[in-house]
Structure 1
Amino acid sequence: MAFLFLLTMLEAGVITDVLLNHNWEKDFPGDPTGSFNTFKHFIRSNLEFCRWIGLCVVFIQGLCVVLAMLLKAMGPYLYYESDDDIHPERMPLFHNDVHPTYVY
């Protein structure tokens, strides 16, 4: 969970740098292939759209991390390391309780 949080914070930092820094292209290393110029042209021509997409992606990822922590904290099994610690019969999501139907 900590790794996902750090990865999301790194992604948010890069997106914030691109959104708020007007000289953001100087922060990236040089590109000998010229693909960065194509990327830069795309970002500049669609700046408002790219801002909203970047903010939405970071917001949704952060929301998913928060919801995962809430589900972990509220779950019935608070102190287990893996799914092997719990007997499969006690795990309702993995146990199929469908009873066979009999045709008379």
Structure 2
Amino acid sequence: MVRVMKSCIQSSLKLMNSIIAILGIVMILYSLCMIKVWQKDAEGSSVDHHNSTFPWFIHAFLGIGISLCASTCLGHFAADTANAYYLSCYMLIIFSLLLIETAIVSDVFINSDWDKDLPDDPSGRFDNFKDFVKSNIDVCVWIGLLILVAQGFSILFALVLRTIQEDEVTSHEFTPSRLPLLQHPV
């Protein structure tokens, strides 16, 4: 019964990881698309305006996508092996991502001038992205909620899997295989 439950939780954790991985892959592909468009714009305009610095927004999008994919790889490995150390590291990483996401979302909702705190984006891609989010706010909210739920369930499944694994280890530690040696007749 425990093996079936463990297998089901491992599969569920892998499913939640797959949802997070899809977001990471989409973010990487979108940032690569933005890099391509930025390079085309840089070739067609003045050298000083576009080539002075690489836009921070593209860096941020690419970095977040890579970190999501890396955490997903760790999550798949942790789910496969059910190792307590890897599960703990995975839970810590996903919890840290949740805290960062919560801080960013709360800053956007509380601070009406949140975009003034960010550096200028010479490529204009951040403004395009902001306009896209404003025009498709319903879809973006549902995608954001899906990601938050997937991360929350990932933490929950990793915690349950870690608990099951620790229970299996402690139940196997105290097997009475050596007790007959203690009662050896003289």
Question: Which category describes the TM-score, using the shorter chain as reference length?
Answer: 0.5 to 0.7
In structure 2, C-alpha distance between the alignment counterparts of 1:66 and 1:2, rounded to whole Å? 12
Cα deviation code 1:34-92 (max 9, x no counterpart): 111110110110112211211221121111111101110122236xxxxxxxxxxxxxx
In structure 2, C-alpha distance between the alignment counterparts of 1:53 and 1:45, rounded to whole Å? 14
Which residue identity lines up with residue 37 of structure 1 in the other structure?
Answer: D
Structure 2's unaligned 5+ residue stretches are 1-90, 171-186
Asked if 1:34 corresponds to 2:124, the answer is yes
Asked if 1:4 corresponds to 2:111, the answer is no
How well do the aligned residues superpose, as a CA RMSD in angstroms? 2.0
Alignment of 1:8-19 (within 5 A): 8-18=98-108
* Residue 77 of structure 1, aligned match among 169, 182, 185: 169
In structure 1, C-alpha distance between the alignment counterparts of 2:114 and 2:137, rounded to whole Å? 13
Q: How many residues align?
A: 77
- The DSSP-based 3-state class of the residue aligned with 1:30 is coil
Shift of 1:16: 4.0
Q: TM-score, normalised on structure 1? A: 0.61
Partner of 2:4: none
Which residue identity lines up with residue 120 of structure 2 in the other structure?
Answer: G
Higher relative CO (Cα under 8 Å, sequence separation at least 6) belongs to 2
Identity among equivalent positions (%) equals 36
Larger proportion of helix: 2
